[in-house]
Amino acid sequence: MKDIKVIGIPFDFGQDHIGVRLAPHVLREANLIPRLQNIVKTEDLGDIIFPFKLVEAKKDKYIKHSLGAGLGTKAISDRLEEEDLSKSFLLNVGGDHGLGLGTIHGLLSHHPESVVVWADAHGDINTPETSPSGNFHGMPLAFLLGLSQHPHFGWIRRKLLPNKLIFFGPRDLDEGEKDIIARHNIQYYSSEDINRLGAKEVIEMALHKADPFGICPIHLSFDVDVFDQMDIDSTGTKVPYGPKLEELFLMGGVLAETGRLKSMDLVELNPQIGDAASVERSIALVLEFVEATLGQVFHAGKEKKPMPAMLEARTTSGRYL
C-alpha cells in the first residue's frame, strides 16, 4: 500500500442519536487528515452524500428507519466498489455501526476472502426478529452473514462467511445474539478474555483460526464503544468493564504487523454527548488510536513509535495498575 484514502460516512439511520453524523466533520476539524499525512500520503475523498431525503420517525414491523438504512448502506457499498483500493488503505469515518453492512459488502467486491475483526462492546448480529430495540446498528452482521432478509435490503448479493468473523471486546449481548454466535460457531473474545489472555495472544489465535495460511486481507470495524466507559464519554452506548486501553492499542498494532490490514471503519463517536472537555478527550483518544494503528500499518517491521502520550499517562496513573 502506498497511501491512505479517507471517506466520511455521515450515516445515522442505525439509531436515534443524530450526533454521530457530525463525527467525520469534527474529526477533520481536529486535524485527522494532517496527522495521517505525517504518516504517509493521505487523500481525503470527502463525504458520501446520500441521494435521498427521508422523514421516517417510526419503524416498520421490526426495523427503525429501515428505508434509510437500506438505501444508505447500498449507497455506501456502491461507492466503495467504485474506488481503486489496489494500493491504498481505506479509512471509513462514520457514522453509526450500521454502516458496516455497506462498507464490508463493498469491500468484499475487492477482497472476497476478507477476515473481519469486529471490535465493539456489542454483537450487532441481531436479526430484526431478535432485536429488542429495532435499531439497525445492532443488525448489520445478520444481514452480512445472510441470516436476515428484508425488502429494503434486497440489493445484498455478497455474504461474509461466519468463519471469517472475529468478535473483539463484546460484553453486552442480547440473548438472540448469543444463540446466533453459538449456532454459527463464530469466534468471540470478550473484554474479560482479552484482559486475561492479552490482545496479542487473542488476535494471533483468532487470525490463525480464521486464516490458517495467513493470506487473507483484514478489515477492522472499530466501534469506539469498545473502549471502557471510563475511557470514553462521547458515544451513545457506553458499557463498563471494557478491554484495557493498552490491550486495544496492542490489538491495532498486532493487526498492523500482519501486513494484511487493508481497511478500517471508525464509528459511533458522537460529539453531541458529554460536555466540551469530555468531547475533547474522546476525540483525542480516537485520534490517538487511529494514528497509532495506521502508523504501524505503514511502518511494520521498522522501529516502533513510543507509546502514545495519552495512553502512557493513563497506564502510569494507576488506571490499570
Catalytic residue check, 82: no
Is 124 marked active-site?
yes
Q: Reply yes or no on whether 275 is catalytic.
A: no
Answer yes or no: 122 catalytic.
Answer: yes
Residues within the annotated binding site?
97, 120, 122, 124, 223, 225
**Position of cell 488476535?**
203
- Spatial separation of the C-alpha atoms in residues 4 and 114, rounded to whole Å: 19
Choose the catalytic residue: 44, 96, 120, 211. Answer: 120
Q: At what angle do helices 100-108 and 66-82 cross, to 10 degrees?
A: 30
Active site residue 299: no
> Cβ-count burial of 70 within 10 angstroms (0-12 exposed, 13-18 middle, 19+ buried)?
buried
- 268 flagged as catalytic: yes
Do the beta carbons of residue 299 and residue 255 sit within 8 Å? no
DSSP string, 264-286: EEEE---TTSS-HHHHHHHHHHH
The active-site residue out of 12, 44, 225, 265 is: 225
44, 223, 233, 247: the catalytic one is 223
Whether 120 contacts 243, CB under 8 Å: no
Is 231 known to be catalytic? no
Report the distance separating Cα 149 and Cα 316, nearest Å: 49
Amino acid present at 186: I
Q: Which residues are annotated as a binding site for Mn(2+)?
A: 97, 120, 122, 124, 223, 225
Which of 105, 122, 152, 219 is catalytic? The answer is 122
Q: Among the options 17, 65, 97, 105, which is catalytic?
A: 97
110 has catalytic annotation: no
Catalytic residue among 17, 65, 105, 137: 137
SS3 call for 9? strand
Q: List residues with catalytic annotation.
A: 97, 120, 122, 124, 137, 223, 225, 268
